[in-house]
Structure formats: structure tokens, C-alpha cells
Amino acid sequence: MARTVRKAGGKLRPGAEEGSGPEAEGAPHAAAPAVRHEAVPNVVIVAQKGRLEYEAVLFAASFRSANPDFAGRLLVMEPQPGPLWPADPRISSEAVRRLLVEEFGAEIVPFESRHFGASYPYGNKIEMLRALPAGAPFVFFDTDTLFLGPLSEVPFDFSRPSASMRRENTWPKIELYGPGYTAIWGSLYAKFGLDFASSLDTRYPDEYWERYLYFNAGWFFHEDPARFGALFEEYAVAIRDDPPPELVCQPLDPWLDQVALPLVIHALGGGRETIPPGLLDGRITCHWRALPLLYARESDEVVATLERVAAPNRIKKVLKEYEPFKRMIYQRRGHKVRALFDRENLPRREQAIRNRIRREKLWMR
């Protein structure tokens, strides 16, 4: 059976949208003149054997539900077998493959792993960029994302890339007697010849983590995946193989993609919130991370969307192949998780939420 499906995409109807202007040093949220963006982005995810292939079904179901008129391309990037993968990483369920292609009109596009593979699967989102159509704008999403509204309402300026600001201070890990944020991040900007000072959000004081450009890699966008991917690959490999001395005590697994990503975005003229906040990771999308976390902390609208798009029999039959989805969604373990938390008074740290769910023996992913 053929394992790769390609088909031509169409064009979304153009419309006038507003974007943000250049990010001024110390004023990253400054207002900007209106910009017209008529290009239709390729919407991109990565799927492979295991959890991600079933998350891809949920993603595609919610995307098509929220974007019924979208005439662009939904691309599912699939890593191929090779020396960096001891086992075949491709989508293993033919039912998943058929549903993605035939029901949701996705195109499954293969890519080769040259640098990461099984040793760092997060590297897929770096290496898949070279297999995307060069010169065509793209928006990448992690598969653990639900669409709540139409992507056409996001006023992208694809010349000014950005990424998710829904993040915690997960990296770097500051040691008591080690270098601080300024020394660590500064060493990385210096390594690649980038202007460190212009990346800083000077509303925050020295050595406070939000002063430094840092993203969650759950979504990012740009006008050209070839340029973006070449820098992302160059920076990530160089940081992994030849890190500055200031990183000697710093873990890079699983953070490598999120260490390199701000450098790429800064190098390409992007920055914080080059699209309005509250759309992606808000009214338009939800990056839910793990189903127990979704049920614990997300809104009633998100839970209702999840259960609505997962309800049709043709989708339910496929998603029930994956035991955590079967138990959380269809056997309603998720609602047991939901009953443990007050959404108006959640723990500040995600780890505290995870720990509570684990104590109740309801964590599954």
C-alpha cells in the first residue's frame, strides 16, 4: 500500500488583515501600521508511530471543524526509516492514515532525519522544515493542539516570525554559583553573531526570566520554511555539539528546540507577539499538552470541542485504538480528573497539577 499521499492545494480567499510593526527595543508590544497579508499558509504538523498519530487525528478533526472553508494545504510530516531510527517511525495505523487523507484531506509528506531521530524526537519539527514547499508561508503546530476558531482570523505577518508565549521558565536551570540568565543567553547570541541587547524585554529587570526571549515551540510561523529550517538546524546542531562554556551545567534534552528557536526568530527579524495575543493559545487554538492536563485546567469550551470532534463513529473507532484516548475521552476518566481541580484557583506550576493527577492514578498519555 502506498505510504505517501500528495495532492495539490488551493487558495484561501484573500482578506485585509492587520499585523504588528517592528519590535522596538524595550517595547515589544508597540502598536504598528496595518499590513495586508494575502498568502495562505501551509498548516503543518508532525505525526509518527504511537501517540502522535492519534493526536494528529484530533488535530485534523478540530482544524476542519473550525475551518470549513480553508482551501489551503494541511500537511502531515512523517519521518522515514533510517540509521537514526532503530524502529520504523512512520504512522503505524492504516486506519489513522486513511482518516487523515480521505476524511480530512491531509497530505502526508515524508522527510529524512539527518541529525536527530530517535535520540531527540523533538528534532522532527526542525528537520521536517526542509521538506516543506520553499518560499511558501507556513504555520507549524504541535499535534496536541485543538482548533476552536478559524485560522483566517489570525493577522499573520509572515515576514516577522514568532512562536508561542504560553511557557514557563523551564530553561535555563540557574545554579546557585553558576552563570545567570544574561551570561547564558548572551553567550548564545554571541556564538551566532546576533545582537543580544535588542532581544531583551526591558520592562523586566536583569536576571528575571521574562526579560529574555523564550518561547514554547508548540507553534511557530514564517514566510519561508527553507530559510527558517536552515537556521533552526544550524543553531540546534551547533548548540548540541559545541555549546558555549556557559552551558556546561545546562540540560539540553528536551529543551534544545526551545533554546535554538528564539535565536532563529530573532535572526529573521521576528520577536514577541508579532501577532495579537489571545488568538493562538487563546480564542483560536488550545495547546493542551496531555489529555489529563486538558481536563484539569482548560475551559468548558475546550472540553466540549474535544468531545464533539471525537464523537463521530468513524473517528471514535480510530481513536479508541489508543488506550489513553479510549480511557480519558470515551470511558470518561477525563471528567474524574476535571473534578479534582478548581479552574479558578489552579496551582501556579504545571508540575503540581501533574503530581495531583498521578497521586490519583489518573495520569496517562
For the chain, the structural domain boundaries read 1-6+35-287, 288-359
Q: What are phi and psi of 78, to 5 degrees?
A: -125, 115
With 0-12 / 13-18 / 19 or more C-beta atoms within 10 angstroms meaning exposed / middle / buried, residue 83 is exposed
Is the alpha carbon torsion for 121, 123, 127, 129 positive or negative? positive
Which residues of the chain fall below pLDDT 70? 1-38
State if pTM tops 0.85: yes
pLDDT of residue 39: 80
Through-space distance between the first and last CA atoms of the chain, rounded to whole angstroms: 30
Which option is the CATH number for 1-6+35-287: 1.10.3470, 1.10.760, 3.90.550, 1.10.3210? 3.90.550
Q: What are phi and psi of 221, to 5 degrees?
A: -150, 160
Which strand (E) or helix (H) includes residue 286? strand 285-287
Helices 225-241 and 256-267: angle between axes, nearest 10 degrees:
130
Distance of CA 91 to the CA centre of its chain: 19
Q: What are phi and psi of 146, to 5 degrees?
A: -110, 140
Is the alpha carbon torsion for 168, 173, 176, 180 positive or negative? negative
Contacts of 165 (CB under 8 A, 6+ apart): 215, 216, 272, 273, 277, 281
User: Which amino acid does the sequence have at 18?
Assistant: E
Nine-digit cell string for 275: 501577532
pLDDT of residue 35: 40
Judge contact between 222 and 161, C-beta under 8 A. Answer: yes
Nine-digit cell string for 184: 547564558
pLDDT of residue 197: 98
Which strand (E) or helix (H) includes residue 127? helix 124-127
Task: Look up residue 298 and give its DSSP letter.
Answer: S
pLDDT of residue 80: 98
pLDDT of residue 71: 84
- What whole-number distance in Å separates Cα of residue 88 and Cα of residue 15? 43
- What whole-number distance in Å separates Cα of residue 204 and Cα of residue 22? 20
Q: What is the residue whose three cell numbers read 522544515?
A: 129
pLDDT of residue 38: 57
